[in-house]
Chain A
């Protein structure tokens, strides 16, 4: 899952020649993903893993790294 999410983040948000992104790179606090664009990440995860993430769980903190995102998704996969 980590690699799927990382690949999506890189394709979606990192401009060509942009900074390298890893599992622990701060995405939102690091300015890579803005709050507008977070919605597409949420929808991607929901569609991909057939889950529904409530808005109050889809916080900038919970979406801040690939690792954290995977923890969140796993919570709803159970």
Chain B
């Protein structure tokens, strides 16, 4: 069928509908490397502006770290730009295997397999290890990529209420007759910044003979005493059957992800996971960068410790200023505004003050739970955080939401 005017107009109407609904996503162009200070063109065509980035997943400030950049350069020189192959044809270099070994060591797992992204890892893992005789029981707030992977799998699908251990137990009892039961959760939930209670979940899985999968994308590198992840925080290292995680956030921020865990499950992914089998190997330059990141993190916890200090400062500062926050102790700090338009206006006003932070609203978060999601980095210095705090306070005062309850804010702006 030709791309007729009729077809074009249908798509144009759909796109207009997205705009009219106020959920059209507009990209802002960044003219600098990823860092605490970035140079932004927004709106498109506007003069460039230096702003403080408060919404990157660059938790450890390693995205543009000189040692990582240097290692990537060396990887580029010694192993080339691309491999023009999937892993199992002629796309596996020595450094791909080295990275898989080092990730296993870092996460405390038996074996690891690299994927082009964690989205791909999550898309491929379920169908590779489960069949229609099994059941997947997922937290209702898991990341979209897990939901997509679950949809692609023939096993029975069920859910439990967010972080509700009792409800999870009832589901494990309900599905007691299944061959395998796989419990699925995020380690740190990306929108609220809360953590899954893995100690209780692992105990339950042991009691009911279930496996557990944890997506550690917003945890690897900085959660836990030495940054190994949520399983370290809850003292269950070695007890998580499958960890999926990304190199696109704290671990260098470029791209790539992995499935790490029980040897046989990883081998099943190597044999059967379609995003692994039918997608290119990770570029050598990225592999070299992630290897350096792991060296840095294994040598010292300085960056993770600084992130913890920065996060505590930021949470305390915002709380004292009178904002409503989501409780927690991770570097994801949601500033609750409840109303979608207010979140957009607030974000724009912050930008005018030199702060880059994005407003999230339905359907990304539940209706009436719009927010500015701030994310703290070890790349932030105190002067960045202080300036951001001053800007938040100034804008909060402008919109008259400081020291107000949720009810008072929604009375003023709606929800």
The residues of A with any CB-CB pair to B shorter than 8 Å are 15, 34-37, 39-40, 43-44, 47
Instruction: List 21 interface pairs A-B (beta carbons < 8 Å), by A numbering.
Output: A15-B161, A34-B159, A35-B157, A36-B147, A36-B150, A36-B157, A36-B158, A36-B159, A37-B140, A37-B158, A37-B159, A39-B156, A39-B157, A39-B158, A40-B158, A40-B159, A40-B171, A40-B174, A43-B174, A44-B174, A47-B174
A37 to B174, CA, bound (A): 13
Nearest chain B CB to A44 CB, angstrom units: 7
B175 within 8 A of A: yes
Q: Please, which residues of chain B bring their CB within 8 A of the CB of A36?
A: 138, 147, 150, 157-159
Chain B positions within 8 Å of A34 at CB level: 159
Total number of B residues with any Cβ neighbor in A under 8 Å: 12
Q: A44: which B residues are within 8 A, CB to CB?
A: 174
Specify which chain A residues have a CB less than 8 angstroms from the CB of B138 in the assembled complex. 36
Chain A residue nearest in CB terms to B136? A36
B interface secondary structure, majority: mixed
List B residues at the A interface (Cβ < 8 Å). Answer: 138, 140, 147, 150, 156-159, 161, 171, 174-175
Question: Which residue in B140, B147, B175 is a CB contact (below 8 Å) of A43?
Answer: B175
CA distance A78 to B157 in the complex (A): 28
Given A15-B161, A39-B157, A43-B174, list of 18 further CB < 8 A pairs? A34-B159, A35-B157, A36-B138, A36-B147, A36-B150, A36-B157, A36-B158, A36-B159, A37-B158, A37-B159, A39-B156, A39-B158, A40-B158, A40-B159, A40-B174, A43-B158, A43-B175, A47-B174
CB-defined contacts of A15 to chain B, threshold 8 Å = 161
Instruction: Find chain B residues with CB under 8 A from A47 CB.
Output: 174
Q: Chain B's nearest CB lies how many Å from the CB of A47? A: 7
Tell me how far the C-beta of A53 lies from the nearest C-beta in chain B, rounded to whole angstroms.
Answer: 13
Q: For the complex, what is the distance from the CA of A44 to the CA of B170, rounded to whole Å?
A: 11
A34 to B171, CA, bound (A): 16
CA distance A37 to B156 in the complex (A): 10
Q: How far is the CA of A35 from the CA of B174 in the complex (A)?
A: 17
Closest to B157 in A: A36
Q: Across the interface, which residues of A come within 8 angstroms of B174, CB to CB?
A: 40, 43-44, 47
Query: How far apart sit A40 and B140, CA to CA, in the bound complex (Å)?
Result: 13
Question: Which A residues lie within 8 Å of B147 (CB)?
Answer: 36
Which residues in B have their C-beta under 8 angstroms from that of A37? 140, 158-159
User: Nearest chain-B residue to A40 (Cβ)?
Assistant: B158
Could you tell me the distance in whole angstroms from the C-beta of B357 to the nearest C-beta in chain A? 28
Which B residues are in CB contact (< 8 Å) with A43? 158, 174-175
List of A residues within 8 angstroms of B150 by Cβ: 36
